[in-house]
Chains A and B, each alone.
Chain A
Amino acid sequence: MTFQHQHAAHCESGTIANLLRHHGAQVSEPLAFGASAALGFAYLPFIRLNGLPLIAYRAQPRAIIKGTAAAFGTRFRFERFSRPAEGQRRLDELLAQGQVVGLQTSVFWLPYFPETMRFHFNAHNLLVYGKEGDDYLISDPVAEDPQRCAAADLARARFARGVLAPRGLLYYPAHAPRAEIDPTRLAPAIRKTARNLLAPLPLIGVRGMRTLAARIARLDPRDARSSPFIGHLVRMQEEIGTGGAGFRFLYAAFLQEADARLPGQGLAGFAAELMEIGDAWRDFALAAARMVKGRDALDPPAIAALLRAQAAREETFFRALLRAV
């Protein structure tokens, strides 16, 4: 069967949806994202990327792959390698068997990414669906069209080191998935998402947003490092994997699909409300970017207040969602 590439908003949910669809499952990117309870928030100041804290808007890497596989009654084989040559040999072997193979890679070393988007982020996901000469045929879900990548470049991207180092990780389904999602998986996944957002931990969920808001409120507007901190926050949110608004829209799309499978729970109404929350995340990003650009004066307490308002809205939303399902 020839492989069909499909564009997506997020790398891991897009990769897993493309891969399971190739194996005959009826799965969209939003269904994968929601069924794996991928929506989240974590402010991890002790993990630093170029000196700035990690702000994650989603579950940890591989959670989407594992969660989606479970919802479709399969699981994945994950393989890591100590040496690039072994990693490449195994990839070639699986391709020769006709497998489409998922990889975790760095973004920085993938030459088909535009120069301006190449940062050292190690938890990118893509599929390899063939090889022609020295080039691997790549389905990168954040790209509109299939890509090609030379073997040496792909090896470098797979074996990049540092935070979240992929160590050559490749994955493929251990056996064929179900054609349709197990509908009993949906309500528990929704409850898990709501509980993640409402977690009683200071760095996670809406409390994590409040901790981050407190950190922002303490930024000194005269300090040259304050503007990059706020810019970084927006970049984590909107540009890299479409965190804030993008993930709310993606989750709203999931709630619409879930509504068709779990009628009578009012999920379509929740989807509509989440779209509005997503729009407010966009307003937040816009206000922050205007300060970064110097169109408005840098006002950390104002940014912090907007973030607290988002935390309050999401707290109300997820409490209601938890009661409904």
Chain B
Amino acid sequence: MKTEDVPQDDNYTLGGHRKGVYARDAAGRMVLVSSRGWEVEEIVTDQALHTLASQAAQAHARALSGLAAPLEYWMYARRMDPELLAQTTGLWRWRVRRHLRAEIFARLSPALLQRYADALGLPPAQLATLPPQP
């Protein structure tokens, strides 16, 4: 890739940042060039973000209809899944899955709530609430 071919596609996913990429200058030397992004990267990052957002939206809907605890929504909103939340809290995965059920969540001890709150970086009281929109 030549320096003048380094993509400058203004990826929204870079949030205005520029990333460093190596490319060949006119003298044939590899040099660092700042890039405003490549569309290919935007496509795949957008796909990953979209997957996470739709998981959060589905969990939001489940929590609104009482099928799941709001904890499930907060887990996905923090870009986690049951496996990662289990690793982060130090709990077994099957326990985390169980705690995502509304009736089980309602009986969680303050100590367990605090563990989830720490893992998700939220105040414990917020775990039982939902924002109006996902």
Per-residue CB contact flags for chain A residues 244-271 toward chain B (1 = under 8 Å, else 0) read: 0110011011001000000000000001
Asked if B22 and A9 sit within 8 Å, CB to CB, the answer is yes
Residue B29 interfacial (CB < 8 Å): yes
Asked if B1 and A231 sit within 8 Å, CB to CB, the answer is no
Chain B interface residue number, banded: 35 or more
Q: Could you say which of B13, B24, B38 contacts A117, with CB atoms under 8 Å apart?
A: B13
CB distance from A175 to the nearest CB of B (A): 29
Residue B66 interfacial (CB < 8 Å): no
Q: Could you say which of A114, A141, A253, A275 contacts B16, with CB atoms under 8 Å apart?
A: A114
B84 CB contacts on chain A under 8 angstroms: 50, 120, 162
Q: A7-B32, A114-B13, A239-B45 are in contact. Are A228 and B40 (CB under 8 A)?
A: no
CB distance from B96 to the nearest CB of A (A): 13
Asked if A249 and B40 sit within 8 Å, CB to CB, the answer is no
CB distance from B4 to the nearest CB of A (A): 14
Once bound together, how far apart are the Cα atoms of A288 and B41, in whole Å?
11
Once bound together, how far apart are the Cα atoms of A323 and B15, in whole Å?
45
Asked if B22 and A289 sit within 8 Å, CB to CB, the answer is no
Asked if B40 and A286 sit within 8 Å, CB to CB, the answer is yes
Asked if A7 and B1 sit within 8 Å, CB to CB, the answer is no
Asked if B18 and A239 sit within 8 Å, CB to CB, the answer is no
Asked if A246 and B21 sit within 8 Å, CB to CB, the answer is yes
Q: Could you say which of A144, A286, A288 contacts B17, with CB atoms under 8 Å apart?
A: A144
Asked if A117 and B88 sit within 8 Å, CB to CB, the answer is no
Mostly, the A contact residues are: helix
CB distance from A252 to the nearest CB of B (A): 6
B39 CB contacts on chain A under 8 angstroms: 289
B18 CB contacts on chain A under 8 angstroms: 144
Q: Could you say which of A142, A238, A271, A275 contacts B41, with CB atoms under 8 Å apart?
A: A238
CB distance from B40 to the nearest CB of A (A): 4
**Which among A123-131, A207-215, A277-285, A310-318 touches the partner chain?**
A277-285
Asked if A275 and B1 sit within 8 Å, CB to CB, the answer is yes
B131 CB contacts on chain A under 8 angstroms: none
Q: Could you say which of B12, B20, B40 contacts A8, with CB atoms under 8 Å apart?
A: B20
Asked if A119 and B22 sit within 8 Å, CB to CB, the answer is no
B121 CB contacts on chain A under 8 angstroms: 109, 156
Residue B30 interfacial (CB < 8 Å): yes
Residue A160 interfacial (CB < 8 Å): yes
Once bound together, how far apart are the Cα atoms of A282 and B16, in whole Å?
23
Interface residues of A in 36-90 (CB under 8 A from B): 48, 50-51
Asked if B20 and A9 sit within 8 Å, CB to CB, the answer is yes
Once bound together, how far apart are the Cα atoms of A256 and B52, in whole Å?
41
CB distance from B89 to the nearest CB of A (A): 8
Asked if B29 and A238 sit within 8 Å, CB to CB, the answer is no
CB distance from B127 to the nearest CB of A (A): 17
Once bound together, how far apart are the Cα atoms of A7 and B89, in whole Å?
35
User: Can you add 4 more A-B contacts, CB < 8 Å, to A116-B13, A161-B90?
Assistant: A9-B19, A9-B20, A108-B79, A143-B17
Offer 27 A-B interface pairs, CB within 8 angstroms, sorted by A: A7-B34, A8-B32, A9-B22, A30-B30, A50-B84, A51-B81, A51-B83, A113-B15, A114-B15, A116-B13, A117-B17, A117-B45, A119-B79, A120-B79, A162-B87, A228-B51, A234-B41, A239-B41, A242-B21, A246-B22, A249-B30, A252-B22, A272-B28, A275-B24, A286-B40, A289-B39, A289-B44
- Which chain A residues have a beta carbon within 8 Å of chain B's beta carbons? 7-9, 14, 29-30, 48, 50-51, 108-109, 113-120, 141-144, 156, 160-163, 165, 227-228, 231-232, 234-235, 238-239, 242, 245-246, 249-250, 252-253, 256, 271-272, 275, 278-279, 282, 285-286, 288-289, 292-293
- Which chain B residues have a beta carbon within 8 Å of chain A's beta carbons? 1, 12-24, 28-32, 34, 38-41, 43-45, 47-49, 51-52, 78-81, 83-84, 87-88, 90, 119, 121
